């Protein structure tokens, strides 16, 4: 049966301009779509997946971009993927982004921040790699937990299936069982997001044993959907030898050869360097790596990560991507983004704000917090100078030594009792000295503990997370009682909150009902509501049923706000989070 006959028999319709038949190998029609009153209707989906959709009265296939990294880790694959996503979205394309991590943890939720940086939480409660935060901040779309996949998730799924007997009679192997799961995740995101372009970042570095199944999967995937529908981008390093004053391409050549060993030849190479790369060296990379010269780009160090899309745009990277993938689009300017970045880079004033935590030796541990402060600073045309203060140092030397002269104090989330007393001292210092204070998650809990101890006279006030105390003003949530597994069992994701009128929080948001992302097990103990309120604490936000305290404020203080949720996960350069915006705004005036 030919394609036209199959269309007619299946749908009782003749082939017109409103339809497109896509064939692959010996498989005829894979999907049928029709435009009817501008509504997309899917009629048939067959076995093999080639995803097609209607776009501007024509049908195109979803295109796929895979971003890999070589030579060393930490080159900025996530920033590159996010920047490409921003530029493609700016051209009117719908973009979906995902991150594949080779580690055997199911997710980063149980990792120390020193191992993998912050844990980014999605709207639906996924605990994911910090790169998903970059994707959201650049592209502006909320992601879901399905946008993050680890080897741990894959092997957990396979072992569970094997124990249930799903593979009876068969040998479970990396190929096809592991690779099929990976390929299905790519397809599922394409379908669920209805994206024009799906960008997949492969975590780790080419050559690491953990990443081999992911590389094999994307090699197979491209073969299955056709080379014209997938693009391999390899981010690599051109090191600069200061002693000889030379840039060296050999590490990049070896990295590409390692990638080719897996059956993948990159279509595009982004060469990271701390200085500008001469054209003759980019020519050399193109020649030795078998890549068309127009698809070799430099990625030099910049003042801020928000400059990266601008550099890519100026080099017409998105044009080359669309050209290579056969996506007809018009060139668009990114003037709005440039204006935002210009405001960020050219402040009219400065303010100094302390982040008091116990992971401050690694800034990535509080990445979304620091970026949110920068967003708010750009809004106020103000440079936010962050003072990283170790809470354990405050315990040893006192708060005066580290917090004197600051315009704001922020205590972020965290777990465990190490450094807790130093954070409590920081909250006390902010309260007594009328310094603007923003507490996040644990930062709210320690503010409650400090207030209960030093204002309400409950000297033994503390959290049950840190032991047994007479006054456990912070206690384990009822639904957490009896929970023994650590991973994925907290109160995670977006939950609604009702704000009290005539509060700082209400003024910041400008509305009564909000939704924010959470990641915690412990909560304000309602037994102590009255005594804390009677001494001047304002319960500015609660869950809709009024059972959970979500935001606290203090009377007789210029700006003291703390939330149980994590506002930093929803801040964007073009739309700073209301709490960060107002916190920095009052700090500027302090």
The pLDDT assigned to 510 comes to 96
User: Phi-psi bin for 369: left (phi > 0), alpha (psi -120 to 50), beta?
Assistant: alpha
Please indicate, yes or no, whether residues 294 and 323 belong to a single structural domain of this protein: yes
Please indicate, yes or no, whether residues 77 and 224 belong to a single structural domain of this protein: yes
Q: pLDDT tens string for the chain (590 positions)?
A: 334 344 333 433 333 434 344 433 333 233 333 333 233 334 333 344 444 444 433 345 799 999 999 989 889 999 999 999 999 999 999 999 999 999 999 888 888 888 889 999 999 999 999 999 999 999 999 999 999 999 999 999 999 999 999 998 899 999 999 999 999 999 999 999 999 999 999 999 999 999 999 999 999 999 999 999 999 999 999 999 988 989 999 999 999 999 999 999 999 999 999 999 999 999 999 999 999 999 999 999 999 999 999 999 999 999 999 999 999 888 899 999 999 999 999 999 999 999 999 999 998 999 999 999 999 999 999 999 999 999 999 999 999 999 999 999 999 999 889 999 999 999 999 999 999 999 999 999 999 999 999 999 999 999 999 999 999 999 988 878 777 677 778 889 999 999 999 999 999 999 999 999 999 999 999 999 999 999 999 999 999 999 999 999 999 999 999 999 999 999 999 999 999 999 999 999 87
Q: Which domain holds residue 45?
A: 3-59
Q: What is the Cα–Cα distance from 475 to 564, expressed in whole angstroms?
A: 13
Please indicate, yes or no, whether residues 424 and 292 belong to a single structural domain of this protein: no
| HSE toward the beta carbon, residue 322, CA cutoff 13 A | 23
Please indicate, yes or no, whether residues 246 and 381 belong to a single structural domain of this protein: no
Say which DSSP state 348 is in: S
End residue of a domain, out of 306, 323, 339:
339
Given the residues 313, 380, 557, 566, the one annotated as active site = 566
End residue of a domain, out of 59, 82, 99:
59
Q: What is the Cα–Cα distance from 349 to 172, expressed in whole angstroms?
A: 61
The pLDDT assigned to 484 comes to 67
Please indicate, yes or no, whether residues 52 and 153 belong to a single structural domain of this protein: no
Residue with tokens 């002693």: 243
Q: How far apart are the first and last CA of the chain?
A: 77
Please indicate, yes or no, whether residues 157 and 172 belong to a single structural domain of this protein: yes
Given the residues 98, 136, 523, 568, the one annotated as active site = 568
The pLDDT assigned to 94 comes to 94
Known catalytic residue at 441: yes
Number of helices and strands (H, E) in the chain?
A: 20, 27
Please indicate, yes or no, whether residues 55 and 134 belong to a single structural domain of this protein: no
Contacts of 289 (CB under 8 A, 6+ apart): 252, 253, 256, 266, 269, 296
Known catalytic residue at 127: no
Closest to 42 measured CA to CA, from 50, 53, 28, 58: 53
Helix (H) or strand (E) holding 248: none
Given the residues 382, 441, 456, 497, the one annotated as active site = 441
Please indicate, yes or no, whether residues 462 and 322 belong to a single structural domain of this protein: no
Please indicate, yes or no, whether residues 309 and 401 belong to a single structural domain of this protein: no
Known catalytic residue at 568: yes
Q: What is the Cα–Cα distance from 271 to 275, expressed in whole angstroms?
A: 11
Please indicate, yes or no, whether residues 415 and 562 belong to a single structural domain of this protein: yes
Tally of domains within the chain: 3
CATH code, domain carrying 558: 3.40.50.880
Please indicate, yes or no, whether residues 24 and 76 belong to a single structural domain of this protein: no
Q: What is the Cα–Cα distance from 99 to 113, expressed in whole angstroms?
A: 18
Please indicate, yes or no, whether residues 21 and 95 belong to a single structural domain of this protein: no
End residue of a domain, out of 311, 339, 367:
339
Residue 544: φ, ψ to 5°? -55, -30
CATH code, domain carrying 104: 3.40.50.300
The pLDDT assigned to 15 comes to 39
């Amino acid at each position: 049966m030919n394609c036209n006959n199959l269309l007619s028999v299946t749908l009782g319709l003749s082939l017109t301009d409103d339809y497109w038949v896509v064939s692959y190998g010996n498989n005829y029609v894979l999907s049928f779509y029709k435009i009817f009153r501008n509504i997309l209707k899917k009629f048939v989906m067959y076995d093999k997946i080639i995803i097609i959709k209607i776009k501007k009265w024509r049908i195109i296939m979803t295109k796929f971009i895979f971003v890999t990294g070589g030579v060393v880790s930490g080159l900025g694959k996530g920033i590159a993927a996010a920047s490409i996503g921003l530029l493609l979205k700016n051209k009117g394309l719908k973009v979906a982004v995902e991150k594949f991590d080779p580690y055997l943890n199911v997710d980063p939720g149980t990792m120390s921040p020193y191992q993998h940086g912050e844990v980014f939480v999605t709207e639906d409660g996924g605990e994911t790699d910090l790169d998903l935060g970059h994707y959201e901040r650049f592209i502006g779309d909320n992601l879901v937990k399905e946008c993050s996949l680890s080897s741990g998730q894959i092997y957990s799924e396979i072992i569970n299936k094997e124990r249930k007997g799903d593979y009876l009679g068969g040998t479970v192997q990396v190929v096809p069982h592991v690779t099929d799961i990976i390929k299905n995740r790519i397809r599922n995101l394409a379908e669920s997001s209805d994206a024009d372009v799906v960008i997949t970042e492969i975590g780790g570095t080419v050559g690491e044993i953990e990443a081999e199944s992911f590389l094999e999967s994307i090699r197979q995937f491209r073969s299955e959907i056709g080379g014209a529908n997938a693009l391999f981008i390899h981010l690599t390093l051109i090191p600069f030898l200061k002693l000889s004053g030379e840039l060296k391409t050999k590490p990049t050549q070896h990295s590409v050869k390692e990638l080719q060993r897996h059956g993948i030849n990159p279509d595009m190479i982004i060469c990271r360097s701390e200085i500008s790369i001469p054209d003759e060296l980019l020519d050399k990379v193109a020649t030795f790596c078998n890549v068309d010269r127009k698809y070799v780009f430099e990625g030099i160090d910049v003042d801020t990560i928000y400059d990266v899309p601008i550099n890519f745009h100026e080099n017409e990277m998105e044009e080359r991507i669309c050209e290579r993938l056969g996506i007809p689009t018009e060139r668009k300017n990114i003037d709005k983004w440039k204006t935002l970045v210009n405001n960020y880079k050219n402040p009219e004033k400065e303010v100094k704000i302390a982040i008091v935590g116990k992971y401050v030796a690694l800034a990535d541990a509080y990445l979304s917090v620091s970026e949110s402060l920068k967003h708010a600073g750009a809004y106020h045309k103000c440079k936010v100078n962050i003072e990283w203060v170790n809470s354990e140092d405050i315990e040893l030397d006192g708060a005066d030594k580290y917090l004197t002269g600051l315009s704001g104090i922020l205590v972020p989330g965290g777990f465990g009792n190490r450094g807790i007393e130093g954070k409590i001292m920081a909250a006390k210092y902010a309260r007594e000295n009328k310094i603007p204070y923003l507490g996040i998650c644990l930062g709210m809990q320690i503010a409650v503990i400090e207030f209960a101890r030093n204002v309400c006279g409950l000297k033994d006030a503390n959290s049950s997370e840190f032991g047994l105390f007479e006054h456990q003003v912070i206690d384990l949530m009822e639904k957490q009682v009896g929970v023994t597994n650590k991973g994925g069992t907290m109160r995670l994701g977006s939950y609604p909150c009702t704000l009290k009128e005539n509060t700082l929080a209400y003024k910041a948001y400008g509305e009564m009902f909000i939704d924010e992302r959470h990641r915690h097990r412990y909560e304000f103990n309602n037994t102590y509501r009255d005594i804390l309120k009677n001494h001047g604490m304002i319960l500015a936000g609660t869950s809709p049923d009024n059972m959970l305290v979500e935001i606290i404020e203090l009377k007789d203080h210029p700006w003291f706000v703390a939330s149980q949720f994590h506002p930093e996960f929803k801040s964007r350069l073009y739309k700073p989070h209301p709490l960060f915006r107002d916190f920095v705004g009052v700090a500027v005036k302090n």
